[in-house]
Amino acid sequence: MDTHLTEDVVGPMPHDYKSDVKPIWCPGCGDYSVLAGITRAMANMGLKRENTVVVSGIGCSSRIPAYTSVYGYHTVHGRSLPVAAGVKLARPELDVLIFGGDGDGFSIGGGHFLHACRRNVDMTYIVMDNQVYGMTKGQASPTTESDWCESKLTPEGPGVNPIQPVALALACGANFVARGFSGDPNEVARLIVEGVKHPGFSVIHVLSPCVTFRPEQRNWKSTVHPYGREPTDDPNQAMRAVLEDDGFGLGIFLAGNRRPFQPASKDSHTIAQIEERFAV
C-alpha cells in the first residue's frame, strides 16, 4: 500500500484507510460493517491519513484504530473522549474521531460523555451499541434491558433500566446527534460524513449487533426504521421526537448551532516578560 495518497482523479478509496490487521471480532459481528462505513466515510471526505486521528477506549469496537491506516491511540477503558479532546484542543487542524462501545462510553466513561457533550469540542464520536460487554464474555451494559437474564453476573437480569444514548446526548448538549445501523454501512458512512463536517461534538449512535452474546439482535434488521423527520437545529424539538421514538429510528436527530469549544491562546508574551514580574 502507498504511504501517501495519490491525487489521481478517483481520489482515495476505502481500502486506503484500512490496515492489513485482521480484526479479533466474531464472524457476523456488526462492527465489521461499521468499520466499512468508517473507511467509506474517510474516503468520501478524502481525509488526509496523516492528519486524521482516531481514538478509542477498551472493548471490541475500541479495537478499530489498529484496523485503520490513520494515526490512532488505543487508550484505556472509558477515557477515549478526554484523550481525543486533548488531541483536538492541542492540534485543532487535525480531524479527530472516537470509536467505542456502550460499556466504554456510558458506564466507565459515562462521566466524560456528559462533559464531552457540553464541552462541544469539534470531533465525532461513533458509539457501537450492542447492549452487552462482549470482550469480557457477555455481561449487561448500561443499555441492556433490565430483564435480560443471560449473564452469569446478573442471572436474574440487571434489574435497572437501560439508558437511551440519543436522549442522553441531547440532554447533555451534544451539537449533532444521529443514529445508524451496522446493517446499512452506506448510511453509517453518510452519518459519519455529516457528523465530521458539522462543527462541534457529534454523536453517532450505531446499533451494531453482538451475534455471540445477543444472537436475538440479528433481528434488528427488521426492527430498525427510518426515523422519518427532517433534522432540526432545535434541541427541544429533537428531544421531543426522540422521546416518542422506540430506540430504533435511524437518521439525524439534531444538527445544532452551538459554537465549538477552543481555549484562547495568543502568543503575545515572551517568558522573559512573564518572569520579570517575580523580580523584587
List residues binding other proteins (CB under 8 A).
Answer: 3-4, 21, 48-55, 65-66, 68-76, 78-79, 82-91, 93-94, 111-112, 114-115, 263-271, 274-275, 278-280
- Count CB atoms within 10 A of the CB of residue 14: 18
**Minimum CB separation from other proteins for residue 20, in Å?**
10
All cell numbers assigned to 36: 466499512
Decide whether 48 or 229 has the Cβ nearer to other proteins: 48
Shortest gap between Cβ of 98 and other proteins (angstroms)?
Answer: 10
Least Å distance, CB 12 to other proteins, is: 13
Least CB distance to other proteins at residue 132 (A): 21
Q: Which is nearer to other proteins, 74 or 258 (CB)?
A: 74
Residue whose CB is less far from other proteins, 77 or 218: 77
Angle at 194 between CA 66 and CA 56, to 5 degrees: 25
The CB-of-167 to other proteins minimum distance in angstroms stands at 20
Pairing relationship of beta strands 71-74 and 52-56 according to DSSP bridges: parallel
How far, in Å, CA of 213 to CA of 184, rounded?
21
Residue placing its CB nearer to other proteins in the complex, 111 or 215: 111
What cell was used for 66? 489498529
Angle, to 10 degrees, between the axis of helix 80-90 and the axis of helix 110-119? 30
Choice between 111 and 228, CB closer to other proteins: 111
Q: How far apart are CA 231 and CA 22, in angstroms?
A: 37
**Strand duo 71-74 + 225-226: pairing:** unpaired
